[in-house]
Structure 1
Amino acid sequence: MFRLLVVEDEEMIRNKIIYNTNWKEHGVIEVFQASNGLEAIDIVRNNNIDIVITDIQMPEMNGIELIREIRSLNRGIKCIIITAYAEFEYAKESVKLNVNDYILKPFKSKDLLYIVKKLLEEIVRERNERVEVENLRRQLRENKKALREKLLNDLLSNSYIGDVDDDLNYLELLELKNREYFIAVININNFMELIKEEDEEQKYIVNLSFYNLVTKFLSSLATDSSNTLDTKLVYSVINYKIDQIVIAVYNDIDKFIPAFEDLIKAGRRELGFCMTTGIGNKYKNLTDMHISYKEACSAALLDRVYGRGNVYIFNDLNFGNKVYSKQLHILGDTKLYDDLKIGAFPEIKKDIENVITQIKSSKLELDAINTIIYNIILLSCKTINELGYDVFEIMGEDFNLHFDVKEINNLVQLEEWLLSFFYKVNEYINRKRSNRNEKLLSKVKDYVDRNYSENITLTSISKDFGISSGYLSVLFNDYIGQNFIDYLTNLRIQNAKNLLKSTDLKIYEIADRVGYRDAYYFSTAFKKSVGINPTDYREKLNIL
């Protein structure tokens, strides 16, 4: 339901607007009227007005001043200006005030109604959008538990995007900011044995039993962030994988080791679970959570050496330098290798700059830097091999994988060496890829030239040649200079023109011979390309 306000000092025009239209038929339940701007302001202040129709020239307060005042009270009110040609300069000023529409005097009631109905539809749309946004906000409030878990999942997988502080504030988790934590993983070692010869549902039942066991056991020790925020958070439980529970613990490692040992015993006793726990190093920055998680997973792998059913700490692996360990994980997560695969050298350059920045900020010893650079080169060689190339063919037979950073005087030279290495690799890969693509497109073009009369499509050709249709489309445009559809259409039309000139075949027969199963569609395509239909084209040839 809507409310309309008519502001016009001329009573005759005011009555015309109010009484010439049955406003109730169009959802307007109340129509207010005012003879000047001051009266109008009082009405706006005391009623929920949706649309104001106002003249420009009025005593006390003109229409422009009125709209300016209305905007200060309620920016959502729609405003329509009634103006005469002589007042057009005022109308231009109204544009600055975001006036929704205007109508020139003299006007017909139906024309004004058309404008009002258009604005009413806009109001309905905006109301629906506000309701939708409010529903989303309500859902967000109700689903904060799920959003907290998603935040932790993203941090664990190193896929978090955004500002952590903002998210912590919104999710009411600000107490986690700059607070030390570590990640513990609990694996079910005999998961496959527990679901053996059972239906698909069984694995989810086992997982839920596993999750309930962990949360129930730990609930007696501390407060879980996913359940309440009334007391200081001590841990958060994440059902991360079907056979793995992850716990972010905001407490001392030593205090929780006995608890994890008791949990392992309870799992075996109550549910027949054989469980192993791995514990990562402590960190303060939440964006380092994926590092502690990987460390915990690495620690849990010790069960293969020392046996299942125990608690293992990352330091058990004798990685004494926590900072060094962190840097290795960060470098392992770099997108450098992905950028190398797609040949994006500007991005590769940024990746290398980021690596050098991290090395500089970590203040590592030369041996540690050497190991990191060696790992980068080694993983790059692995990427090169995955692409089907040989690093020694690129760099030369004398290339030494065991890079010695001691031969470099400073980090600037190290960055230059890395850039030189990756530039050479990138140039080689792009050159090879370009040659391969050129050969591929030559074969594709030859195939199209020979089979244009068949029912061929970009999708069918991409399947035949083993590449995606999207990639083939880009390559075709780059190497042929036309998109696939245009090339095929021109080829078919050109051959159709030859057949029209050299044969007496009927139009539908020519259409079929050049790949069109519908003669009408062929005629339409022909006319679009040539400018006249096939019949007229043939007649024109005969005249010549």
Structure 2
Amino acid sequence: MAQLLIVDDEAHVVDRLAGTVDWKSIGIDQVYKAYSGYEALEQLHQFSIDIVITDIRMPGMSGLQLIAEINRQWPKTKSILLSGYSEFNYAKQAMQFQTEDYLLKPVKTADLLATVSRVLRKLEREWEEVISVQRISYTLKEHMPLLRANLLHELLQGKLWNRTVLREKMARLELGKEPWQSFSLMTVRMDDHLEGLSGAEEDLSWKEFAVANMAEELFGGRYALWHAKDSHDYLIFLLTLKQDAEGEDPGWLERTASVLQSAAHVYLKGKVSIMVSGTGAFPEDVPGIYNRSITAYRNRIGDEPEQFMRLEDEESETTAVQTLACLYEPPALIHLLEAARWEAVEERYKRIFEGVESGETTSEEQLLEIYLTIASAYAFIAHKNGRLLADTLGADYSRMTSALPIRTMHHLREWAFRTLKLLREDMAKETKDNRHSLIERIRRFIDENATRDLSLQLVADQVKLHPVYVSKVYKLETGENISDYIQRVKMEEAQSLLKHSDEKVYEIAARLGYQRPHSFISAFKKTFGMTPQEYRDGHLS
């Protein structure tokens, strides 16, 4: 359902249109009201407004100025002008500002509903075009290689996917034609500059593109390929045997990989090293085989160029030292803390400790590795927020300064969850304090500048924050809009001036930033139920 905003400095016009017109009959679910251009901008910052109906002549910000700002900040929002001024130049200006229509007061309800309904249908057609299957399919195909590579990169880094969700994602990326129940992994390392490419083509991406095309040509008849570049600048290929391929021949994969290495040497005038793995289960074995391949490059190949190697199954045999893969899987612990994803951090802790405690032995180095990783993440977050870790953790920080403060996995688990709770509470308190301080600064500025033509943008500039953030935080903390508070302060100032000064009503209106006395009188009556003069007469001694 759509949302509508009605803007007019004449409160009775806004209230009548908002309250008496059957907007739901044409698909308008929510109607918002604003009594000035500035208040309208505040509403636009807070809510997703589809259509704005605005008067032209308003104090402070005219309807045309409002529409210009809407076009700049919310280009999808449609505008309709409503005015009692029928001069042609206004209509001409309205067309320049790309308004959808120009209606004259007093407007008939049927005409207003017909106009808004037409604009709403136009908006729906525009969004239907944006989300059309044809357009999305075109965009998806255009970015398919990048999207495939991103998904593979996440698998290589050990991101856990629900199997059904992963299959659906692969199908959308046209990777679901084969069952992908098993796979082999091939790692290609560029060992030197490929001299066959020149000029702009010497860019690394061209080299990778050429090798990837060669691999597709050589392996594509028998295997489905899926490749990405990893953080080490290696080309990583996952290969799964096609359903219509002839019986398995383990030696074929290695022989063809050797052909790829030779082809790169002959036709690209360059050297590449290649490592081919055995078969693993998809997707659970992907990160393990990938990490073993990278380790084998470091331990077995080193810097020697143009090497070819099979990743032996023996590499997977357990050793005395086991890596804590879940401690480093993406998103990293630091990133989870930085995003304040507290539940995700707790879940990560549970998996880390369950994984370690399910093993046969727990080494002191594993304790130290977990402890240092968590402690360094805490320090990073605290310092990034301008805080001292000692202030946040208290006694637990003192324990951290000893050489090895925790000697058992049980104590480490308790420490991790306890300190996480302390960090979370400290950050929540700081956020609350910061917001409370911000509200005080906003109100102090408004109180001290009640006679100015105040706006959300002016307030936001004063506190040096974005108006959208200022508006939402103020509403969240106080339950009212900034415009409500500005109006209340102005009305309180008006009360004081009416009681204790001899200024005329129009002078008080000008002092409070109202360009037209009528607007001031209307606002005052809406607030207190009487005109300024009636209020003054009632308080004469």
- TM-score range normalised by the length of the shorter chain: 0.5 to 0.7
Q: Are residues 275 and 319 of structure 1, via their aligned partners in 2, closer, same or farther at CA, if it must alter by over 3 Å? A: same
Distance 2:338 2:265 in 1: 46
Matched letter for residue 183 of structure 2 = E
Distance 1:401 1:280 in 2: 44
Q: Is 1:399 matched with 2:400?
A: yes
Matched letter for residue 514 of structure 1 = L
Matched letter for residue 346 of structure 2 = K
Q: Are residues 134 and 392 of structure 1, via their aligned partners in 2, closer, same or farther at CA, if it must alter by over 3 Å? A: closer
Q: Are residues 388 and 382 of structure 1, via their aligned partners in 2, closer, same or farther at CA, if it must alter by over 3 Å? A: same
The 5 Å alignment of 1:289-438 reads 289=286, 306=303, 327-328=324-325, 331-334=328-331, 336-341=333-338, 343=340, 345-360=342-357, 365-367=362-364, 369-370=366-367, 371-393=369-391, 394=393, 395-400=396-401, 406-408=407-409, 410=410, 414-438=412-436
1:247 match: 237
Tell me if the contact between 2:524 and 2:530 (Cα under 8 Å) persists in the aligned partners. yes
Tell me if the contact between 1:476 and 1:483 (Cα under 8 Å) persists in the aligned partners. yes
Q: Is 1:163 matched with 2:160?
A: no
Distance 1:195 1:159 in 2: 41
Tell me if the contact between 1:185 and 1:277 (Cα under 8 Å) persists in the aligned partners. yes
Distance 2:269 2:319 in 1: 36
2:444 match: 446
**Count of residues paired in the alignment:** 396
SS of the residue corresponding to residue 398 of structure 2 reads: coil
**Deviations, residues 444-503 of structure 1 (Å, cap 9, x unaligned):** 332332234445544454455444445444543455564423222211222233233334
Percent of aligned pairs sharing the same letter: 15
Q: Are residues 222 and 428 of structure 1, via their aligned partners in 2, closer, same or farther at CA, if it must alter by over 3 Å? A: same
Superposition deviation, residue 209 in structure 1: 6.3
Q: Which runs of 5+ in 1 are unaligned?
A: 1-123, 224-230
1:181 match: 184
The 5 Å alignment of 1:445-524 reads 445-477=443-475, 480=478, 482-507=480-505, 509-517=507-515, 521-524=519-522
Superposition deviation, residue 248 in structure 1: 2.0
Tell me if the contact between 2:227 and 2:237 (Cα under 8 Å) persists in the aligned partners. yes
Matched letter for residue 353 of structure 1 = K
Superposition deviation, residue 179 in structure 1: 0.9
Q: Are residues 270 and 360 of structure 1, via their aligned partners in 2, closer, same or farther at CA, if it must alter by over 3 Å? A: same
2:525 match: 527
Distance 1:468 1:261 in 2: 58
Matched letter for residue 340 of structure 1 = L
1:219 match: 217
Tell me if the contact between 1:278 and 1:297 (Cα under 8 Å) persists in the aligned partners. no
- CA-atom RMSD, angstroms? 5.4
Distance 1:507 1:304 in 2: 89
- TM-score normalised to structure 1 length: 0.54
**Deviations, residues 154-196 of structure 1 (Å, cap 9, x unaligned):** 24234967622455577573744431333636569869xx998
Q: Are residues 136 and 466 of structure 1, via their aligned partners in 2, closer, same or farther at CA, if it must alter by over 3 Å? A: same
User: Which structure is larger by alpha-carbon Rg, 1 or 2?
Assistant: 1
2:205 match: 207
Tell me if the contact between 2:167 and 2:176 (Cα under 8 Å) persists in the aligned partners. no
2:47 match: none
Distance 1:319 1:469 in 2: 56
1:235 match: 225
**Deviations, residues 255-285 of structure 1 (Å, cap 9, x unaligned):** 7678667656755765577867788997534
2:151 match: 154
Distance 1:323 1:234 in 2: 37
Tell me if the contact between 2:272 and 2:306 (Cα under 8 Å) persists in the aligned partners. yes
Tell me if the contact between 1:276 and 1:303 (Cα under 8 Å) persists in the aligned partners. no
Superposition deviation, residue 429 in structure 1: 3.1
Distance 1:285 1:495 in 2: 71
Q: Are residues 418 and 240 of structure 1, via their aligned partners in 2, closer, same or farther at CA, if it must alter by over 3 Å? A: closer
Distance 1:532 1:285 in 2: 75
- TM-score normalised to structure 2 length: 0.54
Superposition deviation, residue 521 in structure 1: 4.6
Matched letter for residue 165 of structure 2 = D
Distance 2:190 2:453 in 1: 54
Q: Which runs of 5+ in 2 are unaligned?
A: 1-120, 242-248
Q: Is 1:136 matched with 2:151?
A: no
Tell me if the contact between 1:278 and 1:311 (Cα under 8 Å) persists in the aligned partners. yes
**Deviations, residues 180-229 of structure 1 (Å, cap 9, x unaligned):** 333636569869xx998x6xxx79x8735641442134412344xxxxxx
Tell me if the contact between 2:184 and 2:240 (Cα under 8 Å) persists in the aligned partners. yes
Query: Does 532-541 or 446-455 show the bigger shift?
Result: 532-541
The 5 Å alignment of 1:43-122 reads none
Tell me if the contact between 2:272 and 2:307 (Cα under 8 Å) persists in the aligned partners. yes
Tell me if the contact between 1:185 and 1:245 (Cα under 8 Å) persists in the aligned partners. yes
Distance 1:276 1:517 in 2: 77
Distance 2:481 2:318 in 1: 56
Tell me if the contact between 1:366 and 1:405 (Cα under 8 Å) persists in the aligned partners. no
Superposition deviation, residue 510 in structure 1: 3.2
Tell me if the contact between 2:326 and 2:348 (Cα under 8 Å) persists in the aligned partners. no
Distance 1:301 1:426 in 2: 40
SS of the residue corresponding to residue 388 of structure 1 reads: coil
**Deviations, residues 26-70 of structure 1 (Å, cap 9, x unaligned):** xxxxxxxxxxxxxxxxxxxxxxxxxxxxxxxxxxxxxxxxxxxxx
Q: Are residues 439 and 314 of structure 1, via their aligned partners in 2, closer, same or farther at CA, if it must alter by over 3 Å? A: farther
Q: Are residues 330 and 498 of structure 1, via their aligned partners in 2, closer, same or farther at CA, if it must alter by over 3 Å? A: same
Distance 1:414 1:476 in 2: 41
Superposition deviation, residue 363 in structure 1: 6.2
Superposition deviation, residue 419 in structure 1: 1.1
Matched letter for residue 184 of structure 1 = T
Matched letter for residue 325 of structure 2 = L
Distance 1:508 1:299 in 2: 85
**Deviations, residues 495-525 of structure 1 (Å, cap 9, x unaligned):** 2332333344455543443344565554444
Q: Are residues 453 and 209 of structure 1, via their aligned partners in 2, closer, same or farther at CA, if it must alter by over 3 Å? A: farther
Distance 1:400 1:281 in 2: 46
